[in-house]
Amino acid sequence: MQPLRNLTIKKFHEGLLKKEFSALETTQGFFEYINKKNPEIDAYLSLAEESAVREAEMTDIAIAKGEEIGELAGVPLAIKDNILIKGLPATAASKILENYIAAYDAFVIKKLKKEHAVFLGKTNMDEFAMGSSTENSAFKKTKNPHDVTRVPGGSSGGSAAAVAAHMAIASLGSDTFGSIREPASFCGVVGLKPTYGAVSRAGVIAMASSLDQIGPITKTVEDAAILFRTIAGQDPLDETSTIPPTGPYGKELTEPTIQKIRELTIGLPEEYFVSGTSKEVTDAITKTIEKIKSLGLKFKRISLPHTKYAIPCYYLSMPAEVSSNLARFDGVRYSRNKNLVEKGQTLSELYFKQRGHGFGPETKRRSILGAFVLSSGYYDAYYEKAQKVRTLIKNDFDDAFMDVDVILTPVAPTTAFKIGEKIDDPLAMYLSDVFTGPVNLAGLPAISIPVNQVPGLPIGFQLIGKKWHEEDILGIGQFYEKLENNG
């Protein structure tokens, strides 16, 4: 059997069909490794060994019977802990949901179960997906597998660390302002944020409903395409989801496909190549551009002038949605702490005590800010104005895509920073998402792909596509991977 670190979705599927190993022995191998490695990395919050072993055995039985299996059958996956799997914990890394067990499956989990994927467990995250470092978890701090003194990024830090540390073949995360792409960049893996509406949010614990999107974190762009093909689709339980008008995603790199990729023009926005980005990131992105040029693709300078307003726009829009979405977590429903219930308490006193105990500092900060910007007398001055700026940011992308097909940028201005370095400075933490956030505000697809840079900490570059044009960024990404693997 191949070492776990060598397994991708494609290699695992091929190995199963050739009977080089079984799904069961691979799954058991992952749990054995997780038990050794997770205490160091803290990527997982909970494991699902019993159900995972049972599903792996079913895959092996299907193969023994000569039945046809899909690409994801038996594949060991890690799932972010804000995505519901029936019968498993779903804490969103918050004390207020510490004892909650999901009563149903999220849409994406239903689709993966149909393919007989194996769920190893639930991964750590920033509480309710609020953060860029996974330091805001109520339970533990996940470490970067490349340097355990550094953060893995956030909020999907556990999902990215699990894949980077070879504790899962692939994983699912959620991306509201960069929460898949930033940890993918920091951990040296691939992270895809699909077009808003391409993947249903049903069964995902909401943070900011107009921005949240589920996507894959994988070892290769090819694997990201495989996972995305499976989880994408319309869902009657999510009215924002739709049938993507383009596809298929992640075509094989045949000569006609490569020729089509070479016809694409890539834009370089001047606002993303500015002071404030570290020299190592700038140098890595410059080398990546030169490599992609060698593949025959054309580049063009463009401008996205309202980029500088993305962070203030987000930090007025998002808290308003947070305040509304988190109102349901009152400590009475879902996973109440009975120890905080006292005789003679009024309902108001009960709410204050339960929520005060259950929510962490960042969750409280955003909820309070959201209630403020939605309050009488301030709605027009803040929230409504932020929505107008959001439209201007979207219009910038629309204008740019009149001249180019794809946009290339850094993912983050720096490599992974030290644990504790920014946790007490919220603004410095928020600036980590300066390059990823505008994509969510515009509802576009984007992917983080590792720059092949050794030695040193991982660095990712970002490809942004037109709405519903995941195939463009996945195609260029696979073409780039082919160059790296052959070179």
Q: Which residues are catalytic?
A: 80, 155, 179
Q: Residue 110 to residues 5, 70, 114, 116, 169: CA-CA distances in angstroms? A: 27, 15, 6, 10, 19
Cα 294 to the center of its chain, rounded Å: 30
Ranges of beta strands (E only) in 186-275 are 190-193, 213-218, 265-269
Distance in Å from the first CA to the final CA of the chain: 27
> Cα(282)–Cα(268) distance, rounded to whole angstroms?
13
For residue 37, give both structure tokens: 């490695």
What is the rounded CA–CA span in Å between residue 214 and residue 471?
Answer: 17
- The strand order across the sheet containing 44-47 reads 44-47, 118-123, 76-80, 170-175, 213-218, 190-193, 446-450, 460-465, 406-410, 265-269, 298-302
Distance CA 452, CA 443 (A): 28
Q: Is the peptide bond before 3 cis (omega within 30 degrees of 0)?
A: no
Dist. CA 45–CA 38, nearest whole Å: 9
Q: Dihedral, CA atoms, 377, 381, 384, 386, nearest 10 degrees?
A: -140
Rg (alpha carbons) of the chain, rounded to whole number: 22
The one-letter amino acid code at 216 reads: P
